[in-house]
Amino acid sequence: MNYTRTVALALASVLLPHPSRISAQTTSATSVLTRQIAPSRVDATTTRVDDPHYIAFDTVTARSDAPLVLFMAGTGGKPREMPFFGQLLHAGNRIISISYSTKEAIQQVCPRHPDTECASKVRRKRIYGENTIDVIDDAVNETIVPRLVKLLGYLDRTYPAEQWSQYLANGDVNWSRVVVTGQSQGAGMAAYIAKDHLVQRAVLFSSPWDSYGANSTLAPWLSHKSVTPMDRWFAGYHGKENTAALIARCYAALKIPSSNIRVWTAEPDAFTGPNPYHGVGVSRFNSADNIAFMFGLSH
């Protein structure tokens, strides 16, 4: 199966005075507050990838000890509300769907690259801004962790009563207070971060499947030791996804306990694109029970 081609085809997702750059909303029917804050508002050096970050919490249920759920979208995706966010907010969590460069998927640029560490280098460049490979042109101010640190600092300065500083430590992210999660490319970013840092939980939706060569050899980073204990890793995918078998191999390489993996069976009501089951996990078709299991929520 040509996985690179599959990914390529799949690409074809308080109020401040300037609403086009920052917006906040609540309604009389809900206690959930959401904000959309453009990266250029947080960092004036930003000139590209300026889709607003999505921030949400429930002003009634949010707990003082609540983790921050960091969601990372898949290839071509943008920060936005996902169907399961309400369940997380009701449980008292805060959510940031981070704006970052979601252009080229790893499986578009790495499978035929001569450097077998291509996948790791691309992910490090897109997560931390480390520039050791030129197959993507992401600037540091477009990458996940530098943006998250600046966003948390901005939120803490602008809304000090909300205590966003609890998710920062010594100028970096306080990863012990963060649940990392994502869909597709974003799930791979979550996995990579959980390998590097002691996070509260890692929740992967339908990824990673980093591999190279004609025989789909798995990327070496998948087998590296994880700083986050494996009992904090949870993952799922749909059994009918085009890359289901490869995702299962990657989860095994990551050493995620089989008891922490779920295989979705829900059928979407419409089939679009070359891999129509790929997004089921983060869609309204996935069950509340599956979401509760993945995020450790009470039923």
> Domain limits of the chain?
3-292
> Can you tell me the distance from the alpha carbon of 33 to that of 138, in angstroms, rounded to the nearest whole number?
31
> For the segment 74-100, what is each residue's pLDDT rounded down to a tens digit?
999 999 999 999 999 999 999 999 999
> For the segment 184-218, what is each residue's pLDDT rounded down to a tens digit?
999 999 999 999 999 999 999 999 999 999 899 99
> Can you tell me the distance from the alpha carbon of 21 to that of 15, in angstroms, rounded to the nearest whole number?
11
> Can you tell me the distance from the alpha carbon of 72 to that of 194, in angstroms, rounded to the nearest whole number?
13
Closest CA to 10 of 142, 204, 185: 185
Residues 6+ apart with CB under 8 A from 210: 106, 107, 110, 119, 188, 218, 219, 221, 222, 250
Adjacent-strand bridge partners of 212: 217
Q: Are strands 94-97 and 53-58 parallel, antiparallel or unpaired?
A: antiparallel
DSSP category for residue 223: G
* CATH architecture entry for 3-292: 3-Layer(aba) Sandwich (3.40)
Q: Are strands 217-218 and 211-212 parallel, antiparallel or unpaired?
A: antiparallel
The stretch 50-77 carries a mean pLDDT of: 94
State the pTM of this model. 0.90
The stretch 56-62 carries a mean pLDDT of: 92
pLDDT at 183: 98
> For the segment 262-275, what is each residue's pLDDT rounded down to a tens digit?
999 999 888 888 99
Residue 213: C-alpha distances to residues 70, 133, 158 (Å): 32, 18, 49
